[in-house]
Amino acid sequence: MTKKNIRKIKKYFFGYLFIAPAMIGFFVFMAWPMVNGIIMSFKKVGLKGTSEWVGLDNYTTLISDVHFLKAILNTGYYTLGIILLGVPLALVLAVILNQKLRGMTFYRLSYYLPVITMMIAVSVVWKGLLSTNNGLINYMISFLGISNIPWLTNPKWAMPGLILMSIWKGTGFNMIVFLGALQNIPKSYYEAATTDGANSLQKFTNITLPLISPAILFVMITTTINSFQIFEQAYVLTGGGPQEATTTIVYYIYQNTFEWFKPGYANAQATILFAMLLIITGIQFLLQKKWVHYE
Amino acid sequence: MNNILYKRILKIATHVLLMTGALLMLVPFAWMISTCFKDINNVFTYPPNFIPEKITLDSFSRVFEIMDFGRYYLNNFIITFLRMFGLFFTATMAGYGFGRLEFPGKNFLFICLLGTMMIPIYVIMFPSFMIIKNFGWIDTYQALTIPQMLGAFGGAFSIFLLKQNFQSIPRELEEAAIIDGAGPIRLFWSIMLPQVKPAFAALAIFSFNGSWNDFIWPLIVTNSDKMKMLSLGIARFSSDKEGLTQWPEMMAASLMALLPVVILFIIAQKKFIENASQSGIKG
C-alpha cells in the first residue's frame, strides 16, 4: 500500500470518527425505530412481545375504525383553527410591531413569553382559566355579552378551548418569524413606491406580501406539521374527551399503544400519520412554486 | 398640521392595541401567580380578584409534601444538563465532520440525518420504547438522556447549525494553521472550535428549553415516581382526583416549573428571538 493511500484512509477514518456519535444516535434511535414501526404495522404484537404477521389487517381495520376517523377530523379541525385564526393574527401583530415604537422590547417579550413556557404547566393554568363557573376567560367574555361557555366539558366547546390556548401559546413564535422577514425588506422599496404615489394597502399587497411569502410558507408548513401532532394540551386539559371531542391522532395512537396495548394497530396509525405529514409538506412545497417569490 | 395630528392619533391607537394584546398575553401568568398566594376557597371567586385578601405562602411548601416535587426538579436539572453537554459534544463533532472533513458517502449520510428531522417522536413512540426496553433501560437516567445526547429527537437541527458555522470559516485560517504545523486534533480544538462559539449560545438555548419542557419521552420510558421529570409530575398530579381541587398547589408547582426557562429567557431574550426570526428567513 502506498503512503498516499494510507494517508487517505487515515483521513476518511477521521471523518467517520467525528460523525460517529451522531450517526449512532440516528441509526439506533431514529432510523431503526422508524423502519421497525412500519414493519410492526403489518404485525399483531402480543403482550409478551410475541408477534405474528397479519398482512394488511391493521390497515383494513383502520379504514373502518370510526374512532380513528374521528381523531383525524378532530386534528383537522384543530389545525384549521390554528391556521385560520392564529397565523393571520401573528401576521397582523408583526406588521403592527414592524415600526419604531417605544416599549418595543416589552411588547415582544410579552407576546413571546408563552412560546418558551412548559406546555404541561401552562395547560394546567388554562384548565383553571377555562373553568365554566367563575373561570377568568368566561368572566372576561361576559363583558362582551357572552354568557358562560362550557369550555372543556362540552363536546362542542372543548376543541375551541384547546385552539384558544394553543393560539395564545404559539402566536408569538410565528409573529417573530414574520417580523424577521418584514425587517429584511429594504426600506428603499417602500420609498420608491411612495414616490410613485402608492397607498398603504397597495404597498402591503404589492411589496410586503410577495416579499414575505417565503416566511408565510414556512409558518404554514411548521404550524400544520406541529398542529397535526397536538397531544400534550389534550392530555392535560381534556384527556381526549368529552365524548372523544378532543381525541387527536397522536392521542389515539398513545391510547392504542400504552393504554389498550395494541402496538401493531397503533403503528399502522403512526405510519398513516407520517404519510399525511409527508403529503402536507409535499403539497405546500408544490404550492410555493405558484405563489412564493424568492429573491 | 392635520397630517401630524393624524399620525399622532394613529400612534396612540397602535399603542393601545398592542398594550391590550400584551396584557391579554400576560393574564394567564398573572392568574397563576395570584392563585399561588390564595387559599383554595378564594381561587374561584366572583368577580375574580388578582390580589388575594389574605396572602398565604402555604401552597409552596405544600407542593413538596403532596408530591415528590424536589426530586422531579432535581431530575429536570440533571437530565437537562446531561442532554445539553452530550448534544454539544455530538453536534460539534458531527458539524465539523460534515462541514470540514472529506470522506465517502458524506452527502448521503448528511441527507439521511436531516431527513430524521421529519420524523416526529410521536410516530415512533412504540418502536423507540421497545429499543429502550430491549436495552433494559426502562426507568433509568440512561433512557432519559442517551438518545438526546446522541442527537436523536430534535438534535439534527443543532448538527445542521454547527455544520453551517464550520463551513463559513475561511479556508485561509485552516491553511495557515496547517503551515504552522497544527495536527488534525489541534486544528479542530484550538483553531476551528473557537470560531463557532456564537452558535453555542443558540444550541444551549434550544437544548435547555427543549429538555426542560420535555414531556412525551419521560411519559414513554419511565414509570416510577422517582424518575419523573417536572412536566410528567405536574400532569399526573393534575389528573389525580386530589389534584383537581388543589389549585394553589398546582399553580405553585407550575410557577416553579416555569421559572428557570423564564429567567433564561429574560437574560438571553435577544438570542431567543434571533433564533426564531432567522428560522423564517432561511426557511
Average pLDDT of span B202-212: 91
C-beta atoms of B124 and A34 within 8 A? yes
CA distance A256 to A45: 12
Element (H or E) spanning A43, and its range?
A: strand A43-45
User: Is residue A200 in some structural domain?
Assistant: yes
A116 at interface of B, judged by CB pairs closer than 8 A:
yes
Q: Are residues A84 and A9 in the same domain?
A: no
- Please, what is the average pLDDT of chain A? 90
Which residues of chain B are within 8 Å of residue A41 when distances are taken between CB atoms?
Answer: none
Report the chain B residue with the minimal C-alpha distance to residue A9: B103
- Count Cα atoms within 13 angstroms, Cβ side, for A148: 10
CA distance A168 to B32: 15
Average pLDDT of span B3-23: 90
Note the ipTM here.
0.90
Cell reading at B179: 503551515
User: Is residue A25 in some structural domain?
Assistant: yes
Length of chain A: 295
For the cut 80, the answer to whether the pLDDT of residue A190 exceeds it is yes
C-beta atoms of A19 and B98 within 8 A? yes
Burial pattern B208-227, b for ≥16 Cβ within 10 A else e, equals bbbbbbbbbbbbbbbeeeeb
Q: Are residues A34 and A63 in the same domain?
A: no
For residue A161, give the 3-state DSSP assignment: helix
Cell reading at B123: 410516530
Q: What stretches of A205-262 show up as alpha helix (H) in DSSP?
A: 209-228, 232-237, 249-254
Q: Are residues A22 and A63 in the same domain?
A: no
DSSP class of residue A154?
S
Q: Model confidence at B244, in pLDDT bands (50, 70, 90)?
A: low
User: Is residue A151 in some structural domain?
Assistant: yes
Gap from B14 CA to chain A (nearest CA, Å): 7
Q: Are residues A235 and A276 in the same domain?
A: yes
Distances (CA, A) of B233 to B58, B76, B126: 20, 11, 21
For the cut 80, the answer to whether the pLDDT of residue A53 exceeds it is yes
Which residues of chain A are within 8 Å of residue B232 when distances are taken between CB atoms?
Answer: 120
Average pLDDT of span B248-253: 92
pLDDT at B136: 94
Per residue in B124-149, pLDDT (tens digit) is 999 999 999 999 999 999 999 999 99
Angle between helices A209-228 and A155-183 (to 10 degrees): 140
User: Is residue A281 in some structural domain?
Assistant: yes
A258 at interface of B, judged by CB pairs closer than 8 A:
yes
A234 at interface of B, judged by CB pairs closer than 8 A:
no
For the cut 70, the answer to whether the pLDDT of residue B281 exceeds it is no
User: Is residue A83 in some structural domain?
Assistant: yes
- Please, what is the average pLDDT of chain B? 89
Q: Are residues A104 and A204 in the same domain?
A: yes
For the cut 70, the answer to whether the pLDDT of residue A292 exceeds it is no
By residue range, what is the domain housing residue A260? 58-291
Average pLDDT of span A151-159: 92
Q: Are residues A82 and A202 in the same domain?
A: yes
Q: Are residues A158 and A283 in the same domain?
A: yes
User: Is residue A98 in some structural domain?
Assistant: yes
Average pLDDT of span A200-217: 88
Q: Are residues A29 and A71 in the same domain?
A: no
Q: Are B220 and B125 in contact (CB under 8 A)?
A: yes
Share of chain A above pLDDT 90, in %: 56
Q: Are residues A63 and A28 in the same domain?
A: no
For the cut 90, the answer to whether the pLDDT of residue B41 exceeds it is no
User: Is residue A53 in some structural domain?
Assistant: no
Q: Are residues A223 and A269 in the same domain?
A: yes
Gap from A279 CA to chain B (nearest CA, Å): 12
C-beta atoms of B91 and A22 within 8 A? yes
pLDDT at A112: 93
A200 at interface of B, judged by CB pairs closer than 8 A:
no
Which residues of chain A are within 8 Å of residue B279 when distances are taken between CB atoms?
Answer: 177, 218
DSSP letters along chain B, please? -HHHHHHHHHHHHHHHHHHHHHHHHHHHHHHHHHHHTS-GGGSS-SS--SS-SS---HHHHHHHHHS-HHHHHHHHHHHHHHHHHHHHHHHHHHHHHHHH---TTHHHHHHHHHHGGGS-GGGGHHHHHHHHHHTT-TTSHHHHHHHHHTTTTTTHHHHHHHHHHHHTS-HHHHHHHHHTT--HHHIIIIIIGGGGHHHHHHHHHHHHHHHHT--HHHHHH--SGGG--HHHHHHHHHHSTTGGG-HHHHHHHHHHHHHHHHHHHHHTHHHHHHHHHHHHHH-
Q: Which of B95, B167, B106 is nearest to A22 (CA)?
A: B95
For residue A252, give the 3-state DSSP assignment: helix
Indicate which CATH number applies to the domain containing A184.
1.10.3720.10
User: Is residue A49 in some structural domain?
Assistant: no
Per residue in A221-276, pLDDT (tens digit) is 889 999 999 999 999 999 887 889 999 999 999 999 999 989 899 999 999 999 99
Gap from A71 CA to chain B (nearest CA, Å): 15
Residues 6+ away with beta carbon under 8 Å from A145: none
Question: What does pTM read for this prediction?
Answer: 0.91
For B123, the closest of A37, A214, A222 (CB atoms) is A37
Number of domains in chain A: 2
Q: Are B35 and B43 in contact (CB under 8 A)?
A: yes
Please name the residues between 139 and 158 in chain A that touch chain B, using a CB distance below 8 Å. Answer: 139-140
Q: Are residues A256 and A157 in the same domain?
A: yes
- Which range (A18-27, A179-188, B22-31) has the least confidence? A179-188
Element (H or E) spanning A53, and its range?
A: strand A51-53
C-beta atoms of A114 and B25 within 8 A? yes
Q: Are residues A16 and A129 in the same domain?
A: no
Angle between helices A155-183 and B2-36 (to 10 degrees): 130
